[in-house]
Amino acid sequence: MNKKEFLKIFNGSQFISGIHNYCDRWCERCSYSEKCSVYTMDTKVQKGKSSEEEKEAVKNSMEKTNESLLIALEMFEEIAKESGIDLEALRINEEAEKQKELEAIEHPIAINSKKYSYMAYEWTQKNAALFYKFGEELLEKENLGIYKKQDTINLLEINEALSIIQWDYHQIHIKLMRALKNREVNWEFEDEIQNDANGSAKVALISVERSLKSWETLLELFNERENEVLEILAVLDRTRKDILKEFPKVRQFVRPGFDE
Ligand code: SF4
């Protein structure tokens, strides 16, 4: 992609500005993909390629992202120069950033959410055989002619619950780290509600709440794993309570597109 194509996408009025900043990145389920410049850029990169090329493009997606960032940076520097802005004065203080990162890593919310991502990952890996066995039992029921509509509902619910849990377990920690690192409000562009910390914490909170529901579904259907699931639920619910305590205005944050 060149600068001209990049500008064409970003100047398109059909896009919702900043929508990708506070989403869960689950593009295949997103109702706003047509209004998202990031999604459009990604699909534009893929468009017109053979499946072999697509694989190659996926492999190189990080490079593509870097390419876009470099173009954006180059444009930003040009605009700053034309406007007489001293970029040196705006350079991020690396030491201060490192300090924020360290403080975020050591924060109880980050420790707890990281613990949750490990627990959820391990549980889903360890119990893969359990889900397989569940599927086999359904096949057997079908062979015996005792398959019920409720079996299909259960199967769909398990699939949905696992999809959500697996999509969210790393993301919750990542979004909370960002929220913790960016707690200092930039009063020039933000306010006490519309700020990056609240936006990032809200995305995490939404993931936490839907993951809690998903674990409850698994608890109902696999009660032989009750103790393990209850332990995970306790850690995740702790994270939910901590988010609400640390970011009391989190629910008031309006995510571009999604909450408007
Ligand atoms: S806003 Fe939707 S389409 Fe865009 S990056 Fe987020 S999830 Fe994907």
Residue 62: pLDDT over 60? no
pLDDT at 59: 59
> How far does the centroid of ligand 1 lie from the alpha carbon of residue 24, in Å?
7
Element (H, E) at 230: helix 226-246
CA-proximal residue: ligand 1, atom 8 (nearest): 27
183-221 residue pLDDT tens: 999 999 999 999 999 999 999 999 999 999 999 999 999
pLDDT at 106: 96
Residue 12: pLDDT over 60? no
> Is the model more confident about 96 or about 29?
29
Query: Which amino acid is it at 248?
Result: P
| Among 33, 40, 206, residue to substitute to test ligand 1 (most atoms within 8 Å of Cβ) | 33
Cα dihedral angle (225, 123, 235, 109), rounded to 10 degrees? 180
Mean pLDDT calculated for residue range 163-170: 96
Residue 124: pLDDT over 60? yes
pTM: 0.78
Q: How confident is the model at residue 11 (pLDDT cuts 50, 70, 90)?
A: low
Nearest atom within ligand 1 for CA of residue 32: 2
| Among 26, 32, 41, 207, residue to substitute to test ligand 1 (most atoms within 8 Å of Cβ) | 32
Q: What percent of the chain has pLDDT over 90?
A: 58
Question: How do the domains of the chain map onto residue ranges?
Answer: 3-91, 96-252
Mean pLDDT of the chain: 86
Across 77-86, 148-157, 226-235, which has the greatest mean pLDDT? 226-235
Nearest atom within ligand 1 for CA of residue 24: 7
Residue 78: pLDDT over 70? yes
> How far does the centroid of ligand 1 lie from the alpha carbon of residue 253, in Å?
18
Residue 2: pLDDT over 90? no
**According to DSSP H, which parts of 83-148 are helical?**
87-90, 94-106, 108-126, 128-144
